[in-house]
Structure 1
Amino acid sequence: MRYVVLDTETTGLEAHLGHRVIEIGCVEVVNRRVTRRNFHTYLNPDRDIDAGAFNVHGLSREFLSEHPRFEDKVKELLDFVRGSTLIIHNAEFDLRFLNAEFARLKLGEFRTHCHDVIDSLRQARDMHPGKRNSLDALCDRYDISNKHRTLHGALLDSELLAEVWLAMTRGQESLVIDAGNETVSESQELHLEEVDVSHLPVLMADETEMAAHQGYLAALDKAAKKPCVWRQWEGETNAA
């Protein structure tokens, strides 16, 4: 499954007042792994930047005047996102601006070029009702370092959101491996006792992987505000 985590920066808050997209950052996630394929561009909006927006992202009109316009980068953007499921934090905001840009070019709505859109903010609110669910708050909740985030940036925020979303959705929802929409008849079912595992290699976790595992357990402890069941089990085993 291919996902694209997307974020934008804009000249202001109101697309219907003529504010424009000035930065787009996209991060590819395939089979729940962040790949090294990204899309990133700054855009010349041909207009001033609201002071409030500048305080958020620090992008000036002078800096942006040296970059391409939206119409110059739209094909590259579409080639990157086409057919994917988008993950956007507060998707309504970004889609409103992207739709306005697409309308100027008579390209229809942006989301029609993608398979689906997941609003990670709405998802976080469902998972953590009554709590702060900004990107910074979620980074803290899932123990993802954002110390290098002094200003908002579309690519940096997409990279952080990719980590946050993977942490939010980590976990196996089913013991059945889904092979598309195919159904398996009783005669086709594979029973574990029928599988010969005697020749399967055993790969032990290395020190880096063990450290990552302990870091994940620590994040679980922090989210649950108590030791996770694996840590409790390990304590009982060591005591025995």
Structure 2
Amino acid sequence: MREIVFDTETTGLDPKTGDRMVEIGCIEMVNRVATGHSYHAYYNPERDMPEQAEAVHGLSIGFLSDKPKFSETAHELLEFIEDSPLIAHNARFDFGFLNNELTMASMAEVDMARMIDTIAMAKRRHPGAKLSLDALCSRYGIDRSHRVKHGALLDAELLAQVYVELTGGRQIGLELAAEQASSVVEISSGPAVQREFRAPRPHSASQEELARHKVFLEKMEKPLWAS
């Protein structure tokens, strides 16, 4: 099954108040394995970049000013995601911005039925625990040392690994083998037991047995080996 893990960076928290999407990163997975195919794009938001948002992702309006508008390259994104399920962390946030951009470009929105939210999955699996991407990476031992600031493609790559862990992990077979190995009962070695020696019994037929067998065969009518 093909799935797309994605993340976005924005100018703020609410597209209804004029905030825009400035970056998107997508990772293709087939049967829970990353294929190495990805999609990444920056967008000119056609507005200013609040300091609070820039502090999170490091994308300045100067950097984004020469990037294409979303409407100019939206077809590339749609060709990449096709009709695959879309996985995101706090997915309603990312879907909200993606669909806002599609609406502004006079294009059909992405069906919310395609949404898979890893925060909702983490809540069910780890109730009461911290659910941020950083916290889940720490829980599952996923290296995020290269994550200095938020970045859509990098965060999508990390989320893809988290998603695999939330859906059972990469080494289920190895874990099962380890559990089976740990359940083996070990027999401790005790003092040597002296047993009476018994000579091995003979395994070849006696002359009497061979004679009886010959008589038995001669009584058989039309045996298969004689045809």
Identify the residue that residue 100 of structure 2 maps to in structure 1. Answer: 100
Deviation of the 1:46 alpha carbon: 1.2
Task: Give distance in 2, aligned partners of 1:165 and 1:82.
Answer: 20
Change (3 A) 1:77 1:239: farther
Query: AA paired with 1:29?
Result: M
Task: Give distance in 1, aligned partners of 2:63 and 2:187.
Answer: 59
Residue deviations 1:55-107, cap 9 Å, x none?
Answer: 11000000011211101110000001111011111011011111111111221
Task: Give distance in 2, aligned partners of 1:24 and 1:159.
Answer: 12
Unaligned stretches of 5+ residues in structure 2: 190-227
2:47 is paired with a residue whose SS is: coil
Change (3 A) 1:238 1:168: farther
User: Could you state the TM-score of these two structures normalised by the residue count of structure 2?
Assistant: 0.76
Alignment of 1:100-119 (within 5 A): 100-111=100-111, 116-119=114-117
Identify the residue that residue 132 of structure 1 maps to in structure 2. Answer: 130
Aligned counterpart for 1:146 among listed residues 128, 144, 147: 144
Deviation of the 1:109 alpha carbon: 1.8
Task: Give distance in 2, aligned partners of 1:54 and 1:5.
Answer: 23
Deviation of the 1:108 alpha carbon: 2.7
Deviation of the 1:137 alpha carbon: 0.5
Query: AA paired with 2:59?
Result: L
2:45 is paired with a residue whose SS is: coil
Query: AA paired with 1:143?
Result: G
Identify the residue that residue 15 of structure 2 maps to in structure 1. Answer: 15
Deviation of the 1:230 alpha carbon: 5.0
Task: Give distance in 1, aligned partners of 2:22 and 2:47.
Answer: 10
Aligned counterpart for 2:159 among listed residues 155, 158, 161: 161
Query: AA paired with 1:108?
Result: A
Larger Rg: 2
Residue deviations 1:19-44, cap 9 Å, x none?
Answer: 10000000000022101110001111
Equivalent residues, number: 187
Query: AA paired with 1:136?
Result: D
Task: Give distance in 2, aligned partners of 1:146 and 1:8.
Answer: 18
Query: AA paired with 1:79?
Result: E
Task: Give distance in 2, aligned partners of 1:34 and 1:239.
Answer: 46
